[in-house]
Amino acid sequence: LMAEKGGYRHFMLKEIYEQPRALADTLAGRIREEQGDVYLEDLALSDEELGGVAKLNIVACGTSWHAALVGKFLIEKLARLPVEVDIASEFRYRDPIITPDTLTLLISQSGETADTLAGLREAKGKGGKVVAICNVLDSSIARESHGVIYTHAGPEIGVASTKAFTTQLVALVLFALKLARVRGLLDADGCRALTDELVKLPRKIEEALEQDEAIEEVARLYMNASDFLYLGRGNQYPIALEGALKLKEISYIHAEGYPAGEMKHGPIALIDENLPVVVLLPNNDTREKVISNMQEVRARAGKVIAVTDHDDPLVRDNADQVLVFPSTCDDLMPVILSVPMQLLAYHIAVLKGTDVDQPRNLAKSVTVE
């Protein structure tokens, strides 16, 4: 079994460390450097069909739903196409509006999640086009979709999704670029600006993994907390949700992800000296607003763990711990800051002695409703 785990103590850790390779595989053969375009071999929709799409629904469960939330930011920003995101178990019963120019995108690691598959059938049954982002080749969702973008992350055994998630994010970037090119909203140079950063991502994830020990130290400090709050804004809000989900799933500590700007409308009441607050702090336009949230937490004796790509006295003065990661363009920062979310949850779970790869009550793939 140790051999299967490639010398790692758990599949989850192995899969976290496989991310540089997995992300490179998601990108392989899909960037057309010369044309400044991307190529998605199994998408099956012509440029004309893609160009005729008026609205996109993204439907998924669990971690894949968090990827969908990031996808909304990417696609609306780059391709200016309206995107609605649904949890599959809600979508399937809410009589969603599907017209012939609606495209529905299912995201599923396994391609077998019952609610997501039902969402696919709902959209297809109403005459809409459907495409899927899947990891497992030839899975039900991949087979029943008109087109598919495989993530090529390789088998994911740990119940808590890691490399499947970050490769979904990269597949969404590729899809957003494709839509933006087809819709005439991005020229070849604009596309290359982002694909050049994509190509550097595997190396940057390797660098991010070098913070493993620093993250383990933070895990030791807070492993006995009974609740965690995760804050992020914009495209980091879904990463806050994902960080909280990872912690819940494998360490059984209650955790909540919140949009940082919404803290004042509720979660601020929970803050005291026993509450660690993980703050996603990319170096972007909202940085100072998020730092003021950190000040609000500390003014109430809460503990701030800042996760950032830009270390300066302003962060140091307003955080108890600072974890620093490589920078990239803002659209790709969710991929980089996912790594500390995974490792923090992993180390806390290991320190608590839980069954990391097979947490209680959870299944890798939920194939029944």
Active site residues: 364
Please pick, from the candidates 104, 109, 235, 308, the single residue that binds ligand G6P as defined by CB under 6 A: 109
CB of 343 to ligand G6P, least distance (A): 17
Identify which range of 153-161, 220-228, 319-327, 340-348 contacts ligand G6P by CB under 6 A: 153-161
Identify which range of 55-63, 177-185, 225-233, 262-270 contacts ligand G6P by CB under 6 A: 55-63
d(CA 94, CA 105): 17
- The verdict on 89 binding ligand G6P (CB under 6 A) reads no
- The verdict on 358 binding ligand G6P (CB under 6 A) reads no
Taking the C-alpha atoms of 61, 62, 64 and 67 in order, what is their torsion angle to the nearest 10 degrees?
120
DSSP state of 350: H
Judged by CB, which is closer to ligand G6P: 283, or 365?
A: 365
Identify which range of 19-27, 61-69, 272-280, 328-336 contacts ligand G6P by CB under 6 A: 61-69
Cα separations (Å) of 273 from 12, 299, 300, 325? 31, 10, 7, 27
CB of 237 to ligand G6P, least distance (A): 17
Count, residues near ligand G6P per rule CB under 6 A: 17
- What is the longest distance spanned by two Cα atoms in the chain? 57
- The verdict on 57 binding ligand G6P (CB under 6 A) reads no
305 SS3 class: strand
Amino acid occupying residue 239: I
Judged by CB, which is closer to ligand G6P: 128, or 359?
A: 359
- The verdict on 362 binding ligand G6P (CB under 6 A) reads yes
Residues 6+ apart with CB under 8 A from 213: none
Q: Backbone phi, then psi, for 101, in 5-degree steps?
A: -95, 15
CB count in 10 Å sphere of residue 59: 31
CB of 175 to ligand G6P, least distance (A): 16
CB of 116 to ligand G6P, least distance (A): 5
Pull the structure tokens for residue 226: 């009974």
Please pick, from the candidates 56, 61, 201, 332, the single residue that binds ligand G6P as defined by CB under 6 A: 61
- The verdict on 366 binding ligand G6P (CB under 6 A) reads yes
Identify which range of 154-162, 205-213, 288-296, 329-337 contacts ligand G6P by CB under 6 A: 154-162
301 SS3 class: coil
Please pick, from the candidates 19, 104, 116, 166, the single residue that binds ligand G6P as defined by CB under 6 A: 116
Q: Which of 343, 15, 85, 92 is nearest to 235 (CA)?
A: 85
CB of 312 to ligand G6P, least distance (A): 35
- The verdict on 166 binding ligand G6P (CB under 6 A) reads no
Pull the structure tokens for residue 134: 């899947």
d(CA 313, CA 317): 6
- The verdict on 159 binding ligand G6P (CB under 6 A) reads yes
DSSP state of 226: S
Dihedral sign of CA atoms 3, 353, 237, 319 in order: negative
Please pick, from the candidates 19, 26, 110, 151, the single residue that binds ligand G6P as defined by CB under 6 A: 110
Burial class (CB in 10 A: 0-12, 13-18, 19+), 315: buried
Judged by CB, which is closer to ligand G6P: 193, or 363?
A: 363
Amino acid occupying residue 136: V
Q: Which residues of the chain form contacts with ligand G6P (CB under 6 A)? A: 61-64, 108-110, 113, 116, 159-161, 362-366
